[in-house]
Amino acid sequence: MKNIKFIWEYAKPYQRKGVMIIFHVGIYAFFTLVAPLIISYMQDNIISGIPFENAFLQQIVDAMGGISYLQEHLWIGSLMILFCYVCIGIAIYKRSMNGGYFSESFALHVRNHMYDHLQKLSFHYHKQKDSGDLIQRSTSDIETIRRFLATQLSEMIYAVMIVAIAISILFSRNVKLTIISICLLPFIMLASFIFFRKAKKIFLECDLAESSMTSVLQENLNAMRVVKAFHQEEKEIEKFETFNEAYRKKYFDLMHALGIFWSGTDFLGLCQYLIMMISGVYMALEGELTTGTFFIFLMYESMIIWPIRQLGRILADMGKVSVSIKRIKEVLEEPCEELEKGLCPEIKGDIVFDHVNFRYADDPRMVLKDISFHIPAGTKVAIMGPTGSGKSSLVHLLTGIYDYPSGSIQIDGVELRDIAKQWLRKHVQIVLQEPFLFSKTIYENIHLADIHAQKTDIEQVAQMASIHDTILSFDKGYDTAVGEKGVTLSGGQKQRVAIARTLLCKSPIIIFDDSLSALDTKTDQMIQHALSSLDHDMTMLMITHRISSASKADMIIVLQDGCISQIGTHEELLHQEGLYQRIYHIQQEGGIQDGRTGI
């Protein structure tokens, strides 16, 4: 019932089409049943001259000229049968059209809602979930439901209608033969029900195996550079073949179960048909059955058995649909990140951390411990520290991606968690260490930060990011396609395009999460010089390993083991015993530009 409610809820705008499907299936079933009845009446009552037992039918025949007239004009009966099959053809066409529209519209609605919901889920959720599995839920699972609604839903309605009405008609013609004709149906239905219960688990296992295989394939394609660089092709092939084989085994188990079900129900159905024919021939020879009535039993028996058998397949597919709906609902029932709820204060860039502690939800270890500092608006801050000291975690708190369990973070005097996340992220921009570029042109990748920006604005931020001249050296300039994830650009070029995109936002707070490490020292200095000449005040936080970059900052924060070990200016920290002084001497003596040695 919950699954029906789910489908009906998403099909609300198209419910009229759903009703029309039922109507046209009813027309289809009605004329399918009427055609054999006409043949039966023509044989028994018109050709053989047996009087009608039904007064209403006798009145219809009298209105058409009587039995003798119809005997002389048998073409009228043929025309009636032809009319039935024309109506069947039209009903099938309309059913298919409405079914296609209904199912495609439903799938469109669910896909859009699914994609919209995924965009609004928290970063923590996406971090925990496998992207290949989410892709499958958004595509394959929705497609499973769409296929069911397109054809099998109408087949199920048809089966229920045709079986119920056909059995009723047969009972009215001969009770004894009708009971014989349906004696094995309970066993066919029982087999279908048992298979439906068992199939749900098999379908789920198949989906999980396919999801794992998809994830491996996606991971390999995304990491193709690494695979080629370390000559891991054979290892990756073996890995994929392992998951592919696991999927094949699960699918083989499904096919094995389906094979047993189909062969078993086919056997029962044919036995039922054989029993009915032997009994019908015997009763006809004994005079208990007319030729026309026996013809109806022959026609209706197949109309009963095969839809019941088909109903078993539909029930099996319903099991798969049930699994797909469950998997989709698991995503849709996840609470969305509240983006618009909260304050929208004026943000200038004044930042205060007051005894802030932080740990990740899946890790009991505190990543940040008792962090306190004040950054006045317009200040340039460098953050240094060993790998794993909490630098990235600290700056990510400012974007509202994670929540802090204790302490206070204020931006311009307003508690960070009270600010609407959408507003916060509009005013706090971050350039990641591994930038992501969309499979578009360079112009489009930069322009998406501000859709109202002019070309001159884009060229200006590109010059600030020291990428303008490089772009112009390409054959198509700013219209150069960067490929998936910017694969056609070097690491430094991608980084500078990402910096240009961030600068286009003109946000009062900009964070560089070790994003200048892919650049040489000269380019790094050029970008920082350009940033210092901006025409608007900007608070800049920069994670770096270079003393040459940190020395130009107004404030330097040094983290160790999640705690602030040092804080001050370049000159102040040089005269303090500590990590910053050791890094300075290492880089001065060893000439190591990135400063990673010893950290």
Cα(510)–Cα(421) distance, integer angstroms: 16
Number of alpha carbons in the 13 Å side-chain half-sphere of residue 147: 12
Using alpha carbons only, how large is the chain's radius of gyration in Å?
A: 37
Q: What is the CATH number of domain 351-590?
A: 3.40.50.300
- Model confidence over 114-151: pLDDT tens digits? 999 998 888 878 878 877 788 888 988 999 899 898 88
- Model confidence over 438-478: pLDDT tens digits? 888 888 888 888 888 888 989 888 888 888 888 898 888 88
- Model confidence over 393-437: pLDDT tens digits? 899 899 888 888 899 999 999 999 899 988 998 899 888 877 788
Phi, psi of 368 (to 5 degrees): -125, 135
Q: What is the mean pLDDT of residues 528-533?
A: 71
Q: In terms of Cα–Cα distance, which of 151, 27, 160 is closest to 98?
A: 151
Q: What is the DSSP letter of 366?
A: -
What pLDDT was estimated at residue 87? 94
**Contact of 379 with 539, CB cutoff 8 Å:** yes
What pLDDT was estimated at residue 598? 42
What's the predicted TM-score (pTM) here? 0.70
Asked if pLDDT for residue 597 goes beyond 60, the answer is: no
Superfamily of domain 2-332: ABC transporter type 1, transmembrane domain (1.20.1560.10)
**Contact of 416 with 424, CB cutoff 8 Å:** yes
Q: DSSP letters of 257-287?
A: HHHHHHHHHHHHHHHHHHHHHHHHHHHHHTT
What pLDDT was estimated at residue 599? 44
Contacts of 337 (CB under 8 A, 6+ apart): 120, 121, 122, 123, 421
- Model confidence over 543-558: pLDDT tens digits? 888 888 888 889 999 9
Portion of the chain with pLDDT greater than 70, in percent: 95
- Model confidence over 148-178: pLDDT tens digits? 988 888 888 888 899 889 999 889 888 999 9
Cα 383 off chain centre by? 39
Residue 262: CB atoms within 10 A of its CB come to: 15
- Model confidence over 32-69: pLDDT tens digits? 999 888 888 888 777 877 777 777 777 887 788 777 88
What pLDDT was estimated at residue 25? 93
Instruction: Give me the residues paired with residue 354 across strands.
Output: 408
Q: What is the mean pLDDT of residues 516-529?
A: 71
What pLDDT was estimated at residue 357? 93
Considering 219-223, 256-260, 415-419, the range whose residues carry the highest mean pLDDT is 415-419
**Contact of 544 with 511, CB cutoff 8 Å:** no
Collapsing DSSP states into helix, strand and coil, what is residue 412? coil
Cα(228)–Cα(551) distance, integer angstroms: 39
Cα 53 off chain centre by? 60
Q: DSSP letters of 535-564?
A: SS--EEEEE-S-HHHHTTSSEEEEEETTEE
CB-based burial, 76-86: b 16+ in 10 Å, e otherwise = ebeebbeebee
What pLDDT was estimated at residue 564? 93
- Model confidence over 347-396: pLDDT tens digits? 998 999 999 999 887 778 889 999 999 999 989 999 999 888 889 889 98
Cα(294)–Cα(306) distance, integer angstroms: 19
Q: What is the mean pLDDT of residues 291-311?
A: 83
Portion of the chain with pLDDT greater than 90, in percent: 22
- The domains of the chain are located at 2-332, 351-590
Cα(499)–Cα(463) distance, integer angstroms: 11
What pLDDT was estimated at residue 486? 65
What dihedral angle (degrees, nearest 10) is formed by the CA atoms of 112, 117, 123, 124? -130
**Contact of 306 with 269, CB cutoff 8 Å:** yes
The pLDDT-based confidence of 328 (bands split at 50, 70, 90) is very high
Number of alpha carbons in the 13 Å side-chain half-sphere of residue 44: 19
Angle between helices 185-222 and 233-285 (to 10 degrees): 160
User: Is 377 exposed, middle or buried (CB count within 10 Å of its CB: 0-12, 13-18, 19+)?
Assistant: middle
**Contact of 172 with 256, CB cutoff 8 Å:** no
What pLDDT was estimated at residue 485? 64
419 vs 203: which has the higher pLDDT: 419
Instruction: Give me the residues paired with residue 557 across strands.
Output: 383, 567
Q: What is the mean pLDDT of residues 481-504?
A: 80
Please indicate whether the domains covering 2-332 and 351-590 agree at the CATH topology level. Answer: no
214 vs 566: which has the higher pLDDT: 566
What pLDDT was estimated at residue 544? 87
Mean pLDDT over the full length of the chain: 85
